[in-house]
Amino acid sequence: MKFLDLFAGIGGFRLGMEAAGHECVGFCEIDKFARSSYKAIHDTEGEVEFHDITRVTDESVRGIGRVDVICGGFPCQAFSIAGKRAGFEDTRGTLFFEIARFASILRPKYLFLENVTGLLNHDNGNTFETILGALDELGYDAEWQVFNSKNFGVPQNRERVFIIGHLRGAGGRAIFPFGGVDEEVSQSERHEITTSTLTTRYPESQGAGSYVVEGRKPKKVGNTNPSGRGINGEVYHVNGLIPTLTTNKGEGPKIIQRSHGFNKGGEYEVVPTLTSNSWHENNHLKIYDLHNKRQKDMVGTLTASGHDGNTKTGTFAVDNGYQIRKLTPRECWRLQGFPDWAFDRVAEVNSNSQLYKQAGNSVTVNVIAAIAKRLGDSI
């Protein structure tokens, strides 16, 4: 089916839709840095390209031609639990109605939308009811389901709600509910979509293998901030889920892992690529209180009270063999299901800060691909 990619970002929707055999006819993205990444990944020559969706005229929309699916992860900050939850009072919240405007003109068979789960209960459910009411007035019956990326082959705890709007009288069967990637994607498809994006092999002493994430939760082991608080200082166990990626001021989440033979004998700011089997069994993080030279087991945070009477917090160093580091931009993109070839292209056109933000704003490709496959099967 032919689809239009609204609020396109870096093209996570597009990669997932194309993996399921659908064809993109155009995209809309206001952020110039995201557009640079999108166009580095995708061949957009000859396609419709819009920037500010609020400035796209109805005549321009009609000029797009036939569209079977409108895709859109409409801006979620207005509904996010972590944000102010202003909802439709926020300009970003009203952008949903731009999707409605496009749908009223193009009349696609399906609407394929994504947002944070906070949308469901924002304003005691009134916001979501407004969205459903708008879709109903347009002639679309809606179904929705919450999916967690960790169930689709990536070690990230990321819940999002997906909405499918069905144009009345256009036929097609229900898309939801369904389970994770194991139920919906063949072994060959899973290898291409999941395994190849999450595994990197090194010639020397570097583990390799697919992630197994069923039943896991993010395991926080400490915080690098002096106060012991703050999301940007949280440190997570390497052999577990990463929490939901966010823009996080252009930074990556921090992890702790044992050094590999790959960099034995040296100290590096960035250690080898994250793999699920990089943690050694029965080992624990050790920290030193530099005031007392006393060794401690890992406790709640990486900071604790000092003992010299002159400071409020102690200063600690990670024991030999362990390092704290941020996830690299490449790893954050992998956590969203993007293949390395896509990251290699965007790394040439954008800074690390932008790449972190773009990963945090993106949809998880694997989830999109699984839903897109069911869309294709419903014809």
Cite the active site residues: 76
What one-character-per-residue DSSP string does 315-337 give?
A: -EEEPTTEEEEEPPHHHHHHHTT
Q: What are the structure tokens assigned to 344, written together?
A: 């290699």
Q: How far apart are CA 151 and CA 149, in angstroms?
A: 5
Q: How far apart are CA 156 and CA 138, in angstroms?
A: 35
Q: How far apart are CA 76 and CA 347, in angstroms?
A: 25
C-alpha gyration radius of the chain: 23
Q: How far apart are CA 169 and CA 172, in angstroms?
A: 9
Q: How far apart are CA 84 and CA 333, in angstroms?
A: 27
Q: Name the strands in the sheet holding 254-258, side by side, starting at the edge strand that comes first in the sequence.
A: 220-223, 234-237, 254-258, 322-326
- Phi, psi (degrees; rounded to nearest 5) at 161: -100, 135
Q: How far apart are CA 237 and CA 135, in angstroms?
A: 43
For CA atoms 231, 232, 234, 236, give the dihedral sign: positive
Contact by Cβ (8 Å): 204, 259: no
Coil, strand or helix at 142: strand
Contacts of 185 (CB under 8 A, 6+ apart): 193, 194, 369, 370, 373
